Structure 1
Amino acid sequence: MTNVSVVSAAETAYTRHPDPYVTTHSVLADAVRQAVSQAGLRLSDIDGFGVSSFTLGPDHAVDLAWRLGLRLTWLMQDTNGGASAGGMLQHAVRAVEAGDATAIVLVAGDRMDGPAFEELVRRYNVATEEHLSPLPMPGPNAAFAMLTQRQMQKHGLSRSDYGRIAVAQRGWAALNPGAVYRSPLALEDYLEAPMVADPLGRYDCVPPVTGADAVVVMADERAKGRKRARVLSVAASYNYDDQSGDGLVTGLAVCAPTAWHDSGVSPADVGVASLYDDYPSMVVAQAQDLGLFGDKSPVDFIRDDIMERNFPLNTSGGQLSAGQAGSAGGMHGLVEVVRQLSGQAGDRQVDARIGVVSGYGMVLYRYGACANVAVLEAAS
């Protein structure tokens, strides 16, 4: 258990089609300023800064800090995409506890328009550029379609079960003014949507958007009197199976036991969860690795708890409905859980004491190589 809290959570408005003047720098800066202001601080109070972005280059974290006028004693740049929020949070907690910084702002985001997305998926890393793109395999849809087929066979899942996840998250998105897609989605709409890579249809694939998310982290002692979420634990796993597994088990299976042990709570205590949802199949895999199904089968949990919204999962709408702002995918989930635990989720507010956030991503050749989990608690 740590002595650190997240005292604010902010998001630059997500958009599917950004105006020409909107840049990666501008959305990151906007999210930073919102988070700092919400925490009751000024930029001059910030002495720690972490950033994750696919499109910040040629600038780096220190360049963005300079543009924002920050003077720092702690700085980091995380390049691990969907796992970057948990990675930066883990380092920030240690930095605050060590006295390296007193108020740290973490931000992630991108201008992710059509050309930027095409460039990202084509040159994601050397393995992609040299071995996958020439096939051609434009992006991870085909790889995760095969994973989804295996998962369906293993757990007896149907396309309708994955559709129930997407439909439930769209229901939450309808209550989130910041979600890009808020219109009602029926199970029939999901099943009749165009096929992308069998069995993945349009609503199985996360839509790229432009935007950014940010949080401010500081010691519990300094955070008293502020709306906040205490960080109970953060644990991570990298290169879990050396890309030799079938993708049905993620690195969360390795790091989740540590997170639960260090936090002093269990999966049964979780009242709200944000799981990285680039595909519904990954929601299933991570929920299982975290132990959130309990004694239920994946089919029963999806139908009884997720679809009926008895278990608050991805209450922002998740990336499937709110959108994936590049490297902000994991930070989006952290922002949502902090909002829920601090009573700032508006019409979608749930009654929860414990929240869990997962990070997942960085496809090296087949599936995600990075995973982490953060367990947070509503401050009393």
Structure 2
Amino acid sequence: MTHAVIAGAGEIPATRRPGADVTTRELLIAASRAAVADAGLTHRDIDGLGVASFLLAPDQAVDLSWQMGLRTTWLAEDILSLALLRHAVRAIEAGDASAIVLVGGDKMTGRGFTAMMEQRYSSVWRDQLAPLPIGGPNSLFALLTQAHMDRYGLTRESYGRLAVSQRAWAARNPRALYRAPLSIYEYLAAPLVADPLSIYDCPPLAAGAMAIVVADRKLVKRRRGACRIAVRSIAASYNADLHDGDGLTTGISAVAPRLWEQSGVAPTEVDHFEVYDDYPVMVLAQLQDLGLFTDPAAFVAAQPGDRPWDRINTSGGLLSGGQCGAGGTMKGVVEAVRQLRGSRGPGQLDNPRFSVVTNYGLVPYRYGAGAVGAVLEGDR
């Protein structure tokens, strides 16, 4: 355990159709200010800034720092927003900063997403995938879902149980984008986007931003009411199989042993999991890589109330909460902070102690190349 703690969190809830006057920069600044206030700090206390955003360009972290009126000694940018937490923890430990804002988000709309994937995402997408009529990553992950179904004997209903469960959590989250009840029958009857994926398997693009403050424990110790969420362990893996694998085993498989060893926490001790849910199949893949089960079919067949089946993505995840670009995983961190400090409101778990958050993404060709995981502990 380090002496760096998560001291505050802020969120600008996702919206599906943002106004023309809404900008990615404004979303990031608003979420950052909310997190700083939540930590009981002021902008004068902040000496570090980390940014995860696809659409802030051409501006960078240094520009956002100036626009926020921050004088900083540490800056970072990373599209995997959970990776920023890893960088920030190391910076606090090294004495490079004492209070760092980490913010992720985008004004992500259909048109903006298409332009990003075709022009700015990567040279592989621009040169090899964009010219093909594949419709973006949905088609790629439809193929992964088909392979997963074949290997483990799953059906569309298997993945639907995750989507329905997360919608039930979203119904108790006033910040979630979609809160109306979703039944398995509605899920199965939904239009297909890329067989076997339906509209409920693909996170809706949205505009929004999430932020946290990572600070030296000594700095926030004197702040009355300030939360102090400990980072028990955090680890990352990139290009774990160099895209020579089948995609059903993620980089989390390389991360998990370090997470459990460094934290001293076993998977069975974790109270809830905030797993990156760009598609339900990847939720199951990451949970399996974390060591929760060996048979996905048996896991999804478990009855509601069986732990940890009913403790996954308690915010509603991206599938019901909206995909705000590079801020996707920050949503899971913010939810973990709220649960661990007991401020979730409706949907609050009973005195949770440990949370696990994962980040999966960076699709250079066929599936995600980056994976980050963290074990967090509450200190109430």
Look up the equivalent residue of 2:289 and give its one-letter code: D
Equivalent position of 1:105 in the other structure: 101
Equivalent position of 1:163 in the other structure: 160
SS of equivalent to 2:175: coil
Q: What stretches of structure 2 of length at least 5 have no aligned partner?
A: none
Shift of 1:244: 1.3
Equivalent position of 2:113 in the other structure: 117
Equivalent position of 2:86 in the other structure: 90
RMSD over equivalenced CA pairs, Å: 1.4
Equivalent position of 1:336 in the other structure: 335
SS of equivalent to 2:302: helix
Q: Is the 8 A contact 1:166 1:203 kept in 2?
A: yes
Judging changes above 3 Å, is the alpha-carbon distance between structure 1 residues 350 and 20 closer, same or farther for their aligned structure 2 residues? same
The whole-number CA distance in structure 2 between the counterparts of 1:29 and 1:300 is 44
Offset from partner CA, 1:33-88 (integer Å, 9 cap, x none): 0000011111111001100100001111000100000000111111x3xxx22210
SS of equivalent to 1:348: coil
Alignment of 1:184-195 (within 5 A): 184-195=181-192
Offset from partner CA, 1:99-137 (integer Å, 9 cap, x none): 110000000000112221111232321111111111122
Query: Paired residues, what number?
Result: 374
Q: Is the 8 A contact 1:48 1:103 kept in 2?
A: yes
Equivalent position of 2:311 in the other structure: 312
**Candidates 146, 171, 175, aligned match of 1:174:** 171
Judging changes above 3 Å, is the alpha-carbon distance between structure 1 residues 57 and 27 closer, same or farther for their aligned structure 2 residues? same
* Runs ≥4 residues deviating over 3 A: 305-311
Equivalent position of 1:327 in the other structure: 326
Q: Normalising by structure 2, what TM-score? A: 0.96
The whole-number CA distance in structure 2 between the counterparts of 1:232 and 1:85 is 18
Q: Percent identity?
A: 52
Shift of 1:308: 6.6
Equivalent position of 1:211 in the other structure: 208
Equivalent position of 1:196 in the other structure: 193
Q: Is the 8 A contact 1:4 1:220 kept in 2?
A: yes
Look up the equivalent residue of 1:11 and give its one-letter code: E
**Candidates 297, 300, 303, aligned match of 1:299:** 297
Shift of 1:319: 0.1
Equivalent position of 2:239 in the other structure: 239
Q: Is the 8 A contact 1:173 1:321 kept in 2?
A: yes
Equivalent position of 1:4 in the other structure: 4
Q: Point out the more displaced range, 261-270 or 219-228.
A: 219-228
The whole-number CA distance in structure 2 between the counterparts of 1:319 and 1:120 is 19
Residue 130 of structure 2 is aligned to residue 133 of structure 1: yes
Equivalent position of 1:270 in the other structure: 270
The whole-number CA distance in structure 2 between the counterparts of 1:182 and 1:50 is 31
Look up the equivalent residue of 1:297 and give its one-letter code: D
The whole-number CA distance in structure 2 between the counterparts of 1:62 and 1:361 is 25
The whole-number CA distance in structure 1 between the counterparts of 2:94 and 2:208 is 32
Equivalent position of 1:251 in the other structure: 251
SS of equivalent to 1:216: strand
The whole-number CA distance in structure 2 between the counterparts of 1:369 and 1:114 is 23
